[in-house]
Structure 1
């Protein structure tokens, strides 16, 4: 089956994580994604460990279902290739710092003159404007400047490096896809495309959600462990006797009653309803003591049949074996191209009409160069000439 985005053709100039995760979602939903990669400046994701069969597992996952064209954008002939591709590729995704694509002759204004229907998505750390637009940054910096890190972590130890890239993925990737698809819908009515400026810091700032709303409207500045959902209440993680952890989110009275009854302390439920910080701390200490009386396996068995919003903190190895994740088919087998397959995380979106099967893991650099140029009508002689000139790999 072709997938709901089969009509979209994307030129993807991005590297590393934010842009590639966005185009992965598009490709999984059927879009035709062509990566434009430098033959001289490797995408560092290609060498990121761990490796499977000599290939970075991260690269193999983030770039599955995409073709690769190795093209030196600094050479004039490369610009001509891009112009030809724009005849039927109506979306550009790029992740350079502001001004880089313009200097290459590939800025939005130059390309929309060739294809007015072009939707051009720029994902950057700080956006196309503002005093930080040219400043370097990483996920941890965007979360810090957006205010998110100020009320995460523990009072004594400070903010925590989260381990997953929230600003990159929830900020840049997902907001980029949302904006891109909105622009596609708008184009269906207007017939013209537009430029989408996606700042990972902007999008991370929007993730403040409830805390940001409370501050802006009421002046309530959240701090570490002083909010209901950031450790200021019983809503937290609890250690078992053998050093494992469980999550407790029993916010509603019915869930709190189930939690306390399962632990043999039904009288504690009343404290869970109190907004007073002192009573919340008393409850938290009592729950800590109760959890530490039992081993992890005992607690898992205890809460398996109790609807109390209590779940174990699983390792990735345990998560992929969990019956819920298995029932949702969140792991898929993706062809490597040699007759074998690699286990990868599946697209999490479920469409009643289904999605196309994964076609291949991330391609070798320039793997589809000859194929793509041949589709543009180039002769084998011309392709060989471009290769000798080092325009292509």
Structure 2
């Protein structure tokens, strides 16, 4: 039974071999929800996220956030002694998350088929760009490439200027991280019924393709290929962003007639409301021009006051400094203070999920490379002499 504040995943123990963003964001969610996460890192090729700016007191803010609540064990996996440590760990840490290209873990002697013979309950989650099969399985890629190949980028951006680089990593996070957690937890539920673990193959491109929720459904069933600024939700209608007189932006999502009426009444242009549902592209473009003219008559502060008290689905575009001070986000406690070395704390984004029994308090920011090595090995039964020997041999960082 879960104790209050312990977290719903307190029974899970996870070995995390991932770096950068997709895997670490997935294991961050697991750790925030109470899972014990142990990072296995290379002592020779540290995670590049550790050096990514900006830095807070010499430590990457991104690393401190994405790897909070996790312990770190530095192992040179090219050495047999390090592989043997992992093989002992999987008897206790029966969930493994990795993000190498296909075949790398097999070559290290840590593939699923090898490790499941040690622990048949092992759940092994592999997050890759293109998955474990197919002609692109060994191909390098980044978020922008997965979005391009999945079709998502084909109907984002503007008709005249094309797709734009998105400010957050959709394929990495919504694709790899979140689907990785879903697949992992589904395998945990299955294991509770069968006693058997399994291998979960997560392709960020596959997952990005599945995010074509409405456009993809329309294309596959009806053959309708979405173009840029051609649909209701991608700029083909008045559902868009509008600039104020002083150069700020506002989001307008007044799709339903009652919201559209409230928008047009607030702008003193009630006659525009009837055009909100018009299927005529020309009328939609004219409506957008008229709305832009009205927004440009007012400054940011005036427009904020105008829409603050009405339900019109109109909200200002906030920068991060404004977002963290917004009363709605503050009421939801989206920022948390996380302890760090020296008794101070660092402001970080909180776990967005709310549980009636609560979550454990954040324990610490991202750990130093190999910071918990001796502690973990002692828990496995290694003596001080054996640990010193592993350090001398280079297996332990």
Match of 1:242 among 246, 271, 292: 246
Structure 1 runs (4+) greater than 4 angstroms displaced: none
2:347 maps to which residue? Answer: 343
**1:87: how far off?**
1.3
Match of 1:190 among 187, 194, 197: 194
Q: Distance in 1 between matches of 2:228 and 2:279?
A: 17
**1:361: how far off?**
0.2
Match of 1:286 among 290, 294, 315: 290
**1:31: how far off?**
0.2
1:109 maps to which residue? Answer: 113
Name the count of aligned residue pairs: 393
Match of 1:88 among 89, 92, 109: 92
1:305 maps to which residue? Answer: 309
**1:88: how far off?**
0.8
CA RMSD between the two structures: 0.5
**1:86: how far off?**
1.1
Q: Distance in 2 between matches of 1:152 and 1:139?
A: 15
Residues 266-277 of structure 1 aligned to structure 2 (within 5 Å): 266-277=270-281
Q: Distance in 1 between matches of 2:176 and 2:113?
A: 22
Higher deviation after alignment, 301-310 or 269-278:
269-278
Residues 4-83 of structure 1 aligned to structure 2 (within 5 Å): 4-83=8-87
SS in 1 for 2:218: helix
Is the contact made by 2:6 and 2:358 (CA closer than 8 Å) also made in structure 1?
A: no
Cα deviation code 1:128-186 (max 9, x no counterpart)? 00000000000000000000000000011100100100000000000000000000000
Q: Distance in 2 between matches of 1:162 and 1:200?
A: 16
SS in 2 for 1:80: helix
1:389 maps to which residue? Answer: 393
**1:337: how far off?**
2.2
State the TM-score, normalized to the length of structure 1: 1.00
**1:338: how far off?**
1.3
1:230 maps to which residue? Answer: 234
2:182 maps to which residue? Answer: 178
Gaps of 5+ in 1: none
Q: Distance in 2 between matches of 1:93 and 1:288?
A: 48
Is the contact made by 2:14 and 2:38 (CA closer than 8 Å) also made in structure 1?
A: yes
Is the contact made by 2:112 and 2:199 (CA closer than 8 Å) also made in structure 1?
A: yes
Q: Distance in 1 between matches of 2:90 and 2:232?
A: 51
The alignment status of 1:314 with 2:314, answered yes or no, reads no
Q: Distance in 1 between matches of 2:90 and 2:211?
A: 34
1:168 maps to which residue? Answer: 172
State the TM-score, normalized to the length of structure 2: 0.99
SS in 2 for 1:260: helix
